[in-house]
Amino acid sequence: MKLYLSIFFALVLALPLAAQKPKPQDDPNEKPPFVRAALVGGMNISQVDGDGIAGFRKVGVNAGAAAYVNLTKGFNASFEILYSMRGAKSSSNETIRDGRKLVLNLDYIEVPVMVHYNDRDKAIFGVGFVWNTLVRSTVSPNNLAQDVDFKRATFDVVGGVTFLIKKRYGINLRYTYSLTPAAVAVSNSGSGSGGIRTTLDGGKLRNNVVGLRFMYFIN
């Protein structure tokens, strides 16, 4: 995990260097830079489909850096490197074993690659795919860990919109869903000491994530 975090922070620090330096004054007729760098910070609100509980109750950090490459007028592509905390959490009236609540923590190094349409510098709409590498996973109660086979690498689909505030600031709303399972759980819907109750794809657990993030464009 330390190796992944070191690589993550090194890449986050390096991305802004790829951007062109801002000029002292903004020229309205000036062409946009070929590469724009941005810092990203916000939160995930997530659940895991297939764990037998419902509701977006797990809140975690989503932060990192992004680079936007200008393709043609109104269109660009982006590459991001993020630390993303996902998972699931049962409500006060939902229990899964011996009356205890489920807390599932899944932390990823997340690499979204997207294509965007820029609507007159007011909103940026984007769709794409996400490659995830799992760097930390915990389950509570602890004895449920033996019931779950966590997948080290996963693949998601993502879509979202960024509302621009002036030139350098934006508020991003994003939805991400697993194309490949985040984990495979033991399917046991019985009472007593059974495992995680699974309801989707015969025991395949999938991340279901809504993101709210603040963006600062460096150039």
How sure is the predictor about 90, in pLDDT bands with cuts at 50, 70 and 90? confident
Structure tokens at 65: 């850096």
Report the range of poorest mean pLDDT among 45-54, 82-91, 103-112, 115-124.
45-54
For the chain, the domains span 2-12+41-217
State pTM to two decimals.
0.80
- 175-187 residue pLDDT tens: 999 999 998 876 5
6, pLDDT greater than 70:
no
Structure tokens at 83: 């630390």
Top-confidence residue, 43 or 150: 43
Instruction: Find the angle CA(124)-CA(78)-CA(5) to the nearest 5 degrees.
Output: 125
DSSP string of 3-25, one letter each residue? HHHHHHHHHHHHGGGGSPPPPSS
151, pLDDT greater than 90:
yes
140, pLDDT greater than 60:
yes
**What does each C-alpha distance from 170 to 65, 92, 124, 161 come to in angstroms?**
13, 35, 9, 10
Looking at CATH, the fold of the domain delimited by 2-12+41-217 is given as Porin (2.40.160)
- Per-residue pLDDT, averaged over 140-147, amounts to 67
Distance CA 81, CA 11 (A): 7
How sure is the predictor about 190, in pLDDT bands with cuts at 50, 70 and 90? very low
Q: What is the mean pLDDT of the chain?
A: 82
Helices (H) and strands (E) in the chain, counts: 1, 10
